[in-house]
Chains A and B, each alone.
Chain A
């Protein structure tokens, strides 16, 4: 498991700890934003991406604030708006783009699109489309970690809508009964496709589901990467100590339609503006200036570097060939039947 990517190099004049963390968080949030913008607003519209595009615009603090805390032994099961978790775990931007474009250098070699990818060498499990299906799988990963005597934790990601599925309840219940080391991470972006939270559940918060499983559940400002990070530290400490699972409900808002084809006319007017003021990247930058962790002008420099990184990644992905149709039958089983 040596492939986990080191954080981008930091300049030496920075006060350690928090400042370093802030720069790392900002980098991954901004990279995710730029990559997804490019995917949704450019490559998709140019017809270079043929399948579904579901982005996490406005929600970047959640995968970033959580996944940065995952160590080598921890297992991540990110959902469809958690691109940064893949970046942090070591899947480069170019390979993510190749995946979207159906190229052979995507992690699934053209068998899958969007965020449906994983790599067990990185302890990264691919979701399937069926929502919440990874929740019991996360419990099984955690069971295996304990079985193997490792001190790892499973990070199980899902949206608010997914918590209505039976698989979610079965998985959470099993993890609770078995006291498994799982951190359940909900991005409550208040919509599931066009369905608002009030039509999804009769309780006000996803966290309200926690007590039914005797599981601590914490509500977090999902647009504050530092709050997400701090809450994840508490959750991970709890799970690692053998105290059982922990639920984090990260309140946020989906700043797009459900997918690239959805104009989200069903969202009451004003909500995008209201939540736009709480943008996690802007807030992170403001905090960094306030704390003196970064100087004005630094952010424009970072954005330019990220634009360049994404330009290069797009160019790399576009050079990747399409898979050979002769590989259609490969890998259904370990050995050809």
Chain B
């Protein structure tokens, strides 16, 4: 039976809670209600109020309490109702959790789940992709799965990790994608990108929901005779520069794609890494397809114009392929 991205996250959480009594959940409306997106529906009934903690609307307290519990040896998984509100707990994440190990040798095994991304007409405060706020913070790990397989494998790895992990789950993928998952237990290692489509002529490097946009574009381009490789970063911090650079070395052309806005986005870091390591192999400038530097607009024509899509990717890719 095929499993949705949302169900994959549920399964990962459920299995880890069954496996390790130190794993518990906290967040707003996650208990009886099962969470704004129903990711934790049924957990309260099964695991009880001790392990599924409904909190006040206090993101700093949710993250802070997770840090405290993590320091004491538990494995909290905090839910932000929307990634957009993670900024209310920002200081706890970047100044407290991220720096404990370096400063005083303390482990903070904490996961913060952040439902992110646009395309659902959520407007400026229910659509953002705030991953780079955290990718800029040494001491954190940041993951952004694109597939149901990775969603499950990465939530399990995140929970088992002894460093704080920010887990971006794309709302637009929750019920849109599904696949058959292995019956047996598996995890996906943090820190490893994956080539999700092999090609020779051009590398599209991306993550999250944009992986599907890249694959759609690659399919269209293949009808035109181009062989496009797609790299899914999966983890944004620590960044798997090796896989990225190996792909570009092979194809000699790089198109960097993300749903996040342009300036200071992941593409800039990737471009610098590529030019530092494999400049000699490049046959064309490195190009970006990203959202523009604006808040995420609400009205459908505006949001459509804001979001990258396969057409925008194909256009840039054609230019690169001709170069």
Which residues of A are interface residues toward B (Cβ below 8 A)?
A: 75, 107-108, 111-112, 116-120, 125-126, 128-130, 133, 135-145, 147-148, 154, 166-167, 170-171, 173-174, 177-178, 331-334, 337
Answer whether residue B196 sits at the interface, using C-beta atoms and an 8 A cutoff: no
Contact A173 B238 (CB under 8 A): no
Interface size class of B (residues with CB under 8 A): 35 or more
Known: A120-B106, A128-B96, A331-B101. A142 touches B60 (CB 8 A): no
Answer whether residue B209 sits at the interface, using C-beta atoms and an 8 A cutoff: no
Residue ID in chain A nearest B76 by CB atoms:
A140
Known: A143-B68, A166-B60. A130 touches B95 (CB 8 A): yes
Contact B64 A135 (CB under 8 A): yes
Answer whether residue B277 sits at the interface, using C-beta atoms and an 8 A cutoff: no
Contact B68 A144 (CB under 8 A): yes
Beyond A116-B104, A137-B67, A174-B61, 14 additional contacts (C-beta under 8 Å) are: A118-B104, A128-B96, A128-B99, A136-B63, A141-B68, A143-B53, A144-B68, A167-B60, A167-B91, A170-B60, A173-B61, A332-B139, A333-B238, A334-B162
Docked Cα-Cα span, A80 to B161, in Å, equals 31
Min C-beta distance of B100 to chain A, whole Å: 7
Taking CB atoms, residues of chain A closer than 8 Å to B74 are 144, 147-148
Answer whether residue B127 sits at the interface, using C-beta atoms and an 8 A cutoff: no
Contact sample, A vs B, 18 pairs, CB 8 Å cutoff: A108-B103, A112-B103, A118-B104, A120-B72, A128-B96, A136-B63, A137-B71, A139-B61, A139-B64, A139-B68, A140-B72, A141-B69, A144-B71, A167-B60, A167-B61, A167-B92, A174-B61, A332-B101
Contact B64 A145 (CB under 8 A): no
Known: A136-B60, A137-B96, A174-B61. A108 touches B104 (CB 8 A): yes
Residue ID in chain B nearest A182 by CB atoms:
B68
- Pick from B61, B69, B104: contact of A119, CB under 8 Å: B104
Known: A111-B102, A128-B99. A138 touches B68 (CB 8 A): yes
Most buried by B among A129, A138, A332: A332
Which residues of B are interface residues toward A (Cβ below 8 A)?
A: 24, 50, 53, 55-56, 58-61, 63-74, 76, 91-92, 95-96, 99-107, 138-139, 141, 161-163, 191, 238
Contact B96 A133 (CB under 8 A): yes
Taking CB atoms, residues of chain B closer than 8 Å to A334 are 101, 107, 161-163
Docked Cα-Cα span, A91 to B162, in Å, equals 25
Docked Cα-Cα span, A219 to B70, in Å, equals 32
Residue ID in chain B nearest A77 by CB atoms:
B68
Min C-beta distance of B171 to chain A, whole Å: 25
Min C-beta distance of B235 to chain A, whole Å: 10
Docked Cα-Cα span, A138 to B96, in Å, equals 12
Docked Cα-Cα span, A13 to B101, in Å, equals 46
Docked Cα-Cα span, A130 to B107, in Å, equals 20
Known: A108-B104, A111-B102, A130-B95. A136 touches B71 (CB 8 A): no
Taking CB atoms, residues of chain B closer than 8 Å to A174 are 55-56, 58, 61, 65
Contact B50 A173 (CB under 8 A): no
Instruction: Kindly list the 10 A-B residue pairs having the minimum CB-CB distance in the complex, ordered from nearest.
Output: A140-B68, A136-B64, A140-B65, A144-B72, A170-B61, A170-B58, A141-B68, A337-B238, A174-B61, A137-B68
Contact B106 A118 (CB under 8 A): yes
Taking CB atoms, residues of chain A closer than 8 Å to B50 are 147
Residue ID in chain A nearest B64 by CB atoms:
A136
Docked Cα-Cα span, A332 to B63, in Å, equals 20
Contact A333 B163 (CB under 8 A): yes
Taking CB atoms, residues of chain B closer than 8 Å to A126 are 100, 103-104, 106
Residue ID in chain B nearest A177 by CB atoms:
B56
Docked Cα-Cα span, A139 to B53, in Å, equals 13
Contact B67 A112 (CB under 8 A): no
Docked Cα-Cα span, A46 to B103, in Å, equals 26
Residue ID in chain B nearest A167 by CB atoms:
B60
Docked Cα-Cα span, A130 to B95, in Å, equals 8
Most buried by A among B61, B67, B76, B238: B61
